[in-house]
Chain A
Amino acid sequence: MKENNTDKINNNTKKKTKKSGTLFRLLKYALSDYKGQFAVVVISIIVSAAANVIGIQFIQTLIDNYITPLIGNQNPNYASLLQAILTMGLVYLTGAIATYIYNRLMINITQGTLQKIRKEMFNHMQRLPIGYFDSHSHGEIMSTYTNDVDTLRQALSQSIPQVFSAIVTMVTVFIGMVTTNIYLTCVVILIVIIMTFVSRFFAKNSSKYFVGQQESIGKVDGYIEEMMNGQKVVKVFCYEERSKERFDKLNEELFKSSTKANTYANTLMPCIMNIGNVGYVLVAVIGGVLAVNGLLTIGSIAAFLQFIKAFTNPLAQVSQQLNFVAMALAGAERLFKLMDEPVEVDDGYVTLVNAKEVDGKLEETTERTGLWAWKHPHSDGTTTYTKLTGNVEFEHVSFGYVPNKEILHDISLVAKEGQKVSFVGPTGAGKTTITNLINRFYDIQKGKIRYDGINIQKMKKNDLRKSLGMVLQDTHLFTGTIRDNIRYGNVNATEEQVIAAAKLANADRFIRHLPHAYDTMISGDGEGLSQGQRQLLAIARAALYNPPVLILDEATSSIDTRTEKIVQDGMDKLMKGRTVFVIAHRLSTIKNSDLIMVLDHGNIIERGNHEELLKKKGMYYGLYTGAIEIE
């Protein structure tokens, strides 16, 4: 039991240090570029708060020092009163200007920081290994960009300055109270303690219920999303009534938790304010008693009563804003977690350069010769150049996504320049995994992969990937024109090159039939284009990229025979003269492969060309005759 308790305490302190760590890091982030501006903000807040406090006291001074002496005066001289009012006007004006300045500067700081955070987050994300995207849902990552950054914006631009300003006000007022009367200050401290207690109680409960509300929202949203996606199936199965039933249950839960959370949020303010009111009465009564006994002047009681009001307001504000700050910190924590994810390691030093042949020897050049070479600096200071041809070699490669769970076992294979190597096998055999190792989406644990004789571990990842083209099973397109999409991998391509690539991919014809031909905008991952057309675009994209090695993951989706022929023809033209790895989903397209690898459970169980494999009457034969399901 005891140990448990200490554990809990340890955990609590850990959580706290983590939270304050996040806050500290966030502030450091926000301030590093805006030190000067932030200093001005702090000063402006203090000035603005001070002007506010002086303003509160002003009325009393005005009455006591300027108005009362004039009462009953037959010929009152208003000059000094006017002077006091004008002085006050100046103080107020200073306050207003200070308010404007800090609000204005906070915009710079907030928006600048958010821009920086978003940018760094995105850039960092680009450098995360593929494994990260496998293990985190897109929705989860997206919400970091939307919800978390947004709560952060509110906290930075509003909550933090408000809390700071409130604290400054409270401190100023507190000093005023202490100098006026120490006994009454004690009373106020007592009230403040009660208020803090109450608001902490509220904060604890409201955050609990807000978390509950968030969970209910998550459930309702999840259900809605699933049902909307399957709405047509719902119709076909007349499932409407049953789907309503479950929805009602979740909706009711959300209603309950939402009511609770909002009740707490709504009632905090009246509670704090009215405790303040009771405090006011307490001070008046105690002050009265003290005054009767001659321990206090009437003026100071009046001043004190003003102080109390000036104290409660900011306190209520702080307690309300703290909710937002806590939410923002939780968001910041997620955000920093993303930014702390380890990036893809890239310690490669072999780079891809343009080359030209001089006297039978390769030399580096800056012009685009169309001839590429691997620049390989050695430890002895010399540099060698190897021509990029597209020989790929696996030597006893083993791999698993997680340690101790090997998926590929001892894979060896040789693909020579210009050869077509195909992988076939049932679901989960490891076909896609192999291709993901060539472009180093994942790094192998055992064995070696050589590219043009060089270990790919030594290559700079981006240079390696530049030499590899990929046409993936799911064609992903980007918002932009058709032309932009074809040029995706080669932004500097000329119009002629774009059209040539499209022609090679058999995409030119359908593109010309679109309303704006190559300038047709596509949005939302190519909605409105058929599966076949999207594939043709992906082929054109790869053709323009013009890599010596190509990885093709054939689409499983059903496209009709005619379109399939067009797509296949485009693919065949694309493959010409390149080393190609094909992940096959239909055997008809790979019969002409130089080498077919039959995979099962991460092992190569058969290899050879089509005729050889058919003769074996093994798994390939089974797949070919339709006895075994390929995915």
Chain B
Amino acid sequence: MLKELSKYIKQYKKYAILTPFMVVLEIVMEVVIPYLMAKIIDVGIQNNDLDYIIRIGIMLVISAIMSLIFGVLSGRFAAIASAGFAKNLRQGMFYNIQNYSFSNIDKFSTSSLVTRLTTDVTNVQNAFQMIIRALVRAPIMIIFALCMAFSINKELSFVYIATMIPLALILAFISIKAHPYFEKVFKKYDDLNRVVGENLNAIRVVKSFATEENEEKKFGDVNSLVYKLFKKAEKIVTFNSPVMQIAIYTCILFLSWLGAKAIVTGGMQTGQLSSLITYAWQILSSLMMLSMVLVMIIIAQSSAERIYEVLTEEPTIRNKEKTVKEIKDGSIEFIDVDFQYDDAKANEMLPLEDINLKINSGEVIGIIGGTGSSKTSLVNLIPRLYDVKSGFVKVGGVDVRDYDLETLRNGVAMVLQKNVLFSGTIAENLRWGNANATDEELVEACKLAQADGFIQEFPDKYNTVLDQGGTNVSGGQKQRICIARALLKKPKILILDDSTSAVDTKTDALIRKAFREDIPNTTKIIIAQRISSIIDADKIIVMDNGRIDGIGTSDELLKTNKIYQEVYESQMGGVDSNNEGK
């Protein structure tokens, strides 16, 4: 996993390598500076040698300047490398998601994709910066300081080893012990956020049922659980700093005791003792840092795993090597088609089974059927949003899997049931269908979809800015804009998946009339709940439980098909067609 992720450092590799390099130089300076400082005290001040002090002082200033330069550079490089890494990760995921098929998208939920692209990347970015700075810094610092200490006095240096090992063990023990509690805390945090989120979403329900007190209790329970767990976790971690202090202090005391003896017997100088103690601080605080960084990395690991999943997810639908780049006409054929979603359980019923169907170019097809009768699944196969399990789906006489995906999807325009408009002007949204469409073409498509009228009434007309999700237009208006957007593709096949449900019947009829008159050669497939939307179709397909229950014109079906009769009766019973408001 790390290997795969580290590929995304790419053009920032230079900085990622330079950072530890700068950190090493910075550490060299940090080790040299106390050495020079000791010299000032031991030699310069003791002997009252002002020249010496100035000489060493100049060296110290130079070292300080160099240390500053290295420090600034390592900081800068680390910032570039980690921000760059994050950028590439986000880009890598975003690009790969663009290649996802519908079943890939179904596998991850939208909100989890968003978290992976945002929070998880930030976690990894921070951890990465830690790794190239602190994780390099701490061990090298320990090594350098140990070397210096050994060069001063070998015997005494064993004091470090003697304190380092138990300290490392204790710190490791604390981290391991605390980690599961932190994991639990974060899970509970999710619960806490869930309660708040649900409460916010359903605030009208809460208020109208007057259940504020229950909600408060629900929140209070989770809240105090978070409190308890957090306290438990932090109680363990609290031992970190006193343990650390005791280790350093013990180290200093032993050094002082043994050092004093060494000095008295002439084995060491007093200045060297101060240096040894400085190194003790450096070594042990590096160890402390190391344990903190490791904890952070462990936390970031699960984020890294989630990112990895998105990056390595293989798109289930891809172009073949040789593809057909032109669609001959709008004819459609289903031959012995079985279909199943990827996540289906073994014994589940197939959403589509044994579908055989022939649609001629230019026909108007209506599809009707109850929820779960797989109407949407059926049409999703035409622009190859999903692949069939077995059998063939042909468009213009060619298997959809042989087409170039872009060619196919530009030729088969689909207006989804759960449709989305994006923040931006109406014109920008329409140009999703065709980036180079002229203003006239936009108006033309909107006239067809009966959207031009209300758009012209907006003060800014086609430049009216839509909010995210198009919340500032009504449902019926939204659906008509979506239809116009699809029409701009000038498709061979147009599929409306329950796309006029919020449009009034009169406008609905006008749209169908315009389709018939203005784009006669386009095959139109209309899924609807409302029988009036499909009553005049050339063929009506009645779906039931993933199978075709009947095909024919309305009159034919009224005679032969029981489901159709039932639906017709419930909607049209006793009323002339077109009389049913919705």
Contacts and interface: CB of A to CB of B under 8 A. Distances in A.
A122 B196 contact: yes
Contacts of A472: 204-205, 208
A111 to B, nearest CB: 5
Interface string B520-537: 000000000100000000
B227 A115 contact: yes
Interface in A521-540: 525, 530-532
B513 to A, nearest CB: 14
Interface stretch (A4-12, A283-291, A368-376, A390-398): A283-291
27 contacts: A59-B277, A71-B266, A81-B260, A96-B249, A107-B238, A115-B223, A122-B223, A125-B199, A127-B212, A138-B201, A142-B200, A232-B420, A237-B433, A251-B94, A262-B83, A278-B64, A302-B45, A441-B207, A463-B210, A465-B209, A472-B205, A558-B498, A559-B371, A561-B567, A562-B370, A630-B582, A631-B475
B41 A302 contact: yes
A111 B230 contact: yes
B114 A228 contact: yes
Interface in A457-508: 461-463, 465-466, 468-470, 472, 476-479, 488-489, 491
Interface in A107-134: 107-108, 111-112, 114-115, 118-119, 122-123, 125-127, 130, 133
B260 A62 contact: yes
B75 A281 contact: no
A235 B475 contact: no
A181 interface: no
Contacts of A81: 257, 260
Given A287-B45, A489-B209, A525-B201, A55 B90 contact: no
B75 A270 contact: yes
A231 B105 contact: yes
A563 B373 CA distance: 13
B256 A85 contact: yes
A92 interface: yes
B80 A259 contact: yes
Contacts of A82: 257
A251 to B, nearest CB: 5
Contacts of A562: 370
The bracket for how many chain A residues form the interface is: 35 or more
A449 B371 CA distance: 42
Contacts of B64: 274, 277-278, 281
B5 to A, nearest CB: 17
Contact of B102 (A235, A302, A558): A235
B476 to A, nearest CB: 5
Given A130-B207, A274-B64, A525-B201, 12 more contacts: A59-B273, A100-B239, A126-B199, A130-B203, A224-B118, A229-B469, A261-B79, A288-B54, A292-B48, A472-B204, A478-B198, A558-B501
Contacts of B45: 284, 287-288, 291, 298, 301-302
A585 B502 CA distance: 10
B216 to A, nearest CB: 5
B565 interface: no
Interface string B355-380: 00000000000000111110000000
A625 B75 contact: no
- The majority secondary structure among interface residues of chain B is helix
Given A115-B223, A228-B113, A228-B114, A560 B371 contact: yes
Interface in A64-96: 66-68, 70-71, 73, 76, 78, 81-82, 85, 88-89, 92-93, 95-96
A133 B200 contact: yes
Interface in B568-582: 570-571, 578-582
Interface string A607-631: 0000000000000000111111111
A281 B249 contact: no
A305 interface: yes
B84 interface: yes
B72 A126 contact: no
Contact of B371 (A78, A269, A563): A563
Contact of B260 (A67, A227, A230): A67
Nearest to B229: A111
Nearest to A138: B200
B264 interface: yes
A284 B86 CA distance: 46
A141 B200 contact: yes
Nearest to A533: B371
Interface stretch (A19-27, A238-246, A415-423, A570-578): A238-246
A122 B216 contact: yes
Contacts of B242: 96-97, 99-100, 103
A556 interface: yes
A274 B256 contact: no
Contacts of A78: 260-261
Contacts of A248: 91
B455 interface: no
Given A427-B474, A489-B209, A624-B581, A232 B105 contact: yes
A263 B75 CA distance: 6
What 7 A-B pairs are tightest by C-beta distance, nearest first? A270-B71, A266-B75, A626-B505, A476-B202, A262-B79, A92-B249, A629-B504
A224 B54 contact: no
Interface in A301-340: 301-302, 305
Given A274-B67, A465-B210, A628-B504, A67 B246 contact: no
B118 A107 contact: no
A466 B54 CA distance: 85
Given A237-B432, A258-B86, A104 B581 contact: no
Given A122-B223, A255-B86, A586-B582, A631 B476 contact: yes
Nearest to B191: A479
Interface string B56-100: 010011011101101110111011101110110011001101111
Contact of A142 (B197, B257, B504): B197
A224 B114 contact: yes
A233 B418 CA distance: 9
Contacts of A266: 74-76, 78-79, 133
Nearest to B529: A558
A541 B224 CA distance: 29
Given A284-B57, A441-B204, A630 B504 contact: yes
B305 to A, nearest CB: 19
Max chain B C-beta neighbours (<10 A), residue from A127, A236, A472, A491: A236
A291 B48 contact: yes
B234 interface: yes
Contacts of B53: 284-285, 288
A232 B482 CA distance: 13
B528 to A, nearest CB: 9
A289 B41 CA distance: 14
Contacts of A169: none
A565 interface: yes
A479 B194 contact: yes
Contact of A130 (B199, B204, B468): B204
Interface stretch (B160-168, B172-180, B408-416): B408-416
Interface string A414-441: 0000000000000100000000000101
Contacts of A34: none
Interface in B243-301: 245-246, 249, 252-253, 256-257, 260-261, 263-264, 266, 270, 273-274, 277
A542 to B, nearest CB: 9
A63 interface: yes
B110 A274 contact: no
Nearest to B468: A226
A359 B579 CA distance: 55
A126 B420 contact: no
Contacts of B566: 561
B422 interface: yes
B503 interface: yes
A511 interface: no
B226 interface: yes
Interface string B419-459: 11011000000001101000000000000000000000000
